[in-house]
Amino acid sequence: MKILQTVYLGNTLQDWLIAACIFMVALAVLVVLKRIILSRLSRLATATENKLDDMLVDLFKQTKILILIVFSAYVASYAVTLKPNIEALWQKAVLLILIFQGGLWASVAVSFGLSHIMQKRMDQDTSSATTIAFLGFMARLVLWVIVLLLVLDNLGFNITGLVAGLGIGGIAVALAVQNILGDLLASLSIVLDKPFVIGDFVVIDSFMGTIEHIGLKSTRIRSLSGEQLVISNNDLLKSRISNYKKMRERRVAFNFGVIYQTPRVKLKLINKIVSDIIREQANARFDRVHFKEYGDSSLNYEVVYYVETPDYNVYMDIQQAINLEMFRRFQEESIEFAYPTQTIFIQQTAN
The answer to whether the pTM exceeds 0.75 is no
Closest CA to 289 of 308, 310, 307, 268: 268
Give the SS3 label for residue 110. helix
Query: With helix as H, strand as E and coil as C, how does 221-261 read?
Result: EEECCCCEEEEEHHHHHHCCEEECCCCCCEEEEEEEEECCC
How many C-beta atoms surround the C-beta of residue 190 within 10 A?
23
pLDDT in single tens digits along all 351 residues of the chain: 566 566 655 667 777 778 788 888 888 888 888 888 778 777 776 777 666 667 777 777 777 787 888 888 877 877 777 777 777 777 777 788 888 878 888 887 777 777 766 666 555 555 555 566 666 777 777 777 777 777 777 777 666 665 666 555 555 555 545 566 667 777 777 777 777 878 888 888 888 888 888 877 788 889 888 888 888 888 888 888 888 877 888 899 999 999 999 999 999 999 999 999 999 999 999 999 999 999 988 999 999 999 998 888 899 999 999 999 999 999 999 999 998 776 676 777 665
Other residues' Cβ atoms within 10 Å of the Cβ of residue 291: 14
Residues 245, 128: Cα–Cα separation, whole Å? 18
Q: What is the DSSP string of 116-132?
A: HHHHHHHTT-TTHHHHH
Crossing angle between the packed helical segments 128-154 and 84-122, to the nearest 10 degrees: 170
Q: CA-CA distance, 97 to 76, in Å (whole number)?
A: 17
Domains of the chain, earliest start first: 3-154 (no CATH), 187-243 (2.30.30.60), 250-332 (3.30.70.100)
The Cα–Cα gap between 302 and 304 comes to 7
